[in-house]
């Protein structure tokens, strides 16, 4: 790795990233191993859903929404990851004379994301089989919406894409560690926890590659270009938020279908808003609020980061 002006790359190198990746690698079949989810109980911590205080939801409705949230999380992550292999392979193609170690790390990173997509897709199918009903999905089964979403992402600049990726990859790790790994109670379904754990051990390498790429790209940019990258980060955030709103609506529709009871319009609207907020907190809040992401953002552009974080 060529040296960069940024202290946050200290100790990182592509060979070590690939080596760590090889040591923790897993297979989808090895994780799922003909197991199933237990639909008789909640599957994810209740903090993920945030509907505890809503008086119009009974125990069955709360449990159904909990299963919906387990589904939504793997559904959204699997579809979000679709753009990553294209994003990484385009970078490798644009810079064919980059180092072999860098190339190997980025292509392996892309391949791991394709494996994650397969894991999340299998988990979606298994959740539906275990629960005995389909779940509403913002991203259609035919992949039309996912392809459009990935394309919209790829139309943004490469630094903005890496910044978003870094935030989200740190965010998903933090979310797993804080809400499941480090908790003694209310951790949910053992298989679901294993799916997230498998994802976490590989994401740990991805943030290192993101960090090295951000340092390399940012080091060659002027302040105006850095400003533009952070502006684009806001635009990527809006794309994500539309999917969160869409999936929250799908959760309400699934609740109606499973319980056979349609909530009055005002209650449905309240529920939709609460679900959108909690989905945003466990996907976006944990990412943009991650201290390591804030450190990188501030080192890359103190002024743009101040605008992003409002300080």
Which residues would be at the binding site for Fe ion (CB under 5 A)?
116, 169, 203, 206
Q: Which is nearer to Fe ion, 164 or 304 (CB)?
A: 164
Question: Please, which residue, 131 or 296, has the CB nearer to Fe ion?
Answer: 296
CB 237 within 8 A of CB 284: yes
Q: Which is nearer to Fe ion, 149 or 274 (CB)?
A: 149
Length of the chain: 311
CB neighbours of residue 301 within 10 Å: 19
- Minimum distance of Fe ion from residue 135's CB (angstroms): 20
Of 114 and 152, the one with the shorter C-beta distance to Fe ion is 114
User: Residue 189 Cβ, how far from Fe ion at the closest point, in Å?
Assistant: 20
Q: Which residue has the tokens 């509907």?
A: 51
Q: How far is CA 116 from CA 103, 112, 201, in A?
A: 20, 6, 11
Shortest spacing between CB 168 and Fe ion, in angstroms: 8
Q: Which of residues 71 and 109 has its CB atom nearest to Fe ion in the complex?
A: 109
Taking the complex as a whole, the smallest distance from the CB of residue 182 to Fe ion amounts, in Å, to: 20
CB of 192 to Fe ion, least distance (A): 16
Q: Output the CA angle 258-261-262, nearest 5 degrees.
A: 110
Extended strands (E) in the chain: none
CB of 202 to Fe ion, least distance (A): 7
Residue 297 is given by DSSP the state H
Cβ atoms within 10 Å, residue 215: 23
**Distance, C-alpha 130 to centroid of its chain:** 23
Closest distance to Fe ion from the beta carbon of 175 (Å): 13
DSSP 8-state secondary structure symbol assigned to residue 184: S
Q: Which of 94, 119, 299 minimizes the C-alpha distance to 203?
A: 119
- The residue among 116 and 276 lying less far from Fe ion, judged by its C-beta, is 116
How far apart CA 279 and CA 60 sit, in angstroms, is 20
Nearest Cα residue to 150 out of 92, 242, 81: 81
Q: Output 138 or 206, the one with its CB closest to Fe ion.
A: 206
Question: Three-class SS of residue 9?
Answer: helix
The C-alpha angle 164, 203, 196, rounded to 5 degrees, equals: 110
- Name which of 74 and 308 has its Cβ closer to Fe ion: 74
Which H or E run includes 34? none
For the bound state, the minimum distance from the C-beta of residue 143 to Fe ion, rounded and expressed in Å, comes to 18
């Amino acid at each position: 790795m060529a040296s960069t002006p940024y202290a946050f790359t200290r100790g990182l190198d592509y060979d070590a990233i690939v080596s760590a990746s090889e040591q923790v690698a897993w297979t989808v079949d090895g994780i799922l191993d003909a197991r199933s989810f237990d639909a008789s109980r909640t599957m994810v911590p209740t903090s993920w859903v945030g509907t505890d205080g809503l008086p119009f939801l009974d125990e069955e409705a709360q449990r159904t929404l909990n299963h919906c949230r387990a589904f939504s999380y793997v559904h959204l992550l699997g579809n979000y990851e679709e753009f990553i292999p294209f994003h990484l392979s385009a970078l490798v193609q644009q810079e064919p004379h980059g180092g072999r170690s860098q190339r190997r790390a980025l292509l392996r990173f892309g391949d791991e994301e394709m494996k994650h997509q397969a894991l999340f897709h299998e988990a979606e199918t298994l959740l539906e089989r275990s629960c005995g009903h389909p779940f509403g999905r913002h991203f259609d089964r035919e992949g039309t919406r996912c392809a459009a979403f990935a394309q919209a992402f790829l139309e943004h600049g490469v630094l903005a894409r890496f910044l978003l990726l870094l935030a989200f990859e740190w965010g998903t790790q933090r979310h797993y560690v804080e809400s499941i790994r480090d908790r003694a109670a209310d951790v949910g379904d053992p298989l679901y926890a294993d799916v997230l754990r498998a994802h976490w051990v590989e994401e740990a390498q991805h943030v290192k590659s993101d960090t090295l790429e951000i340092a390399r790209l940012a080091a060659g940019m002027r302040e105006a270009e850095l400003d533009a990258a952070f502006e684009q980060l806001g635009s990527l955030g809006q794309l994500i938020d539309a999917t969160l709103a869409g999936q929250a609506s799908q959760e309400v529709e699934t609740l109606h279908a499973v319980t056979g009871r349609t909530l009055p319009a005002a209650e449905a609207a309240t529920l939709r808003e609460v679900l959108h907020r909690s989905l945003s907190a466990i996907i976006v809040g944990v990412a943009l609020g991650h201290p390591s992401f804030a450190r990188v953002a501030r080192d890359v552009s103190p002024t743009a980061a101040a605008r992003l974080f409002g300080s």
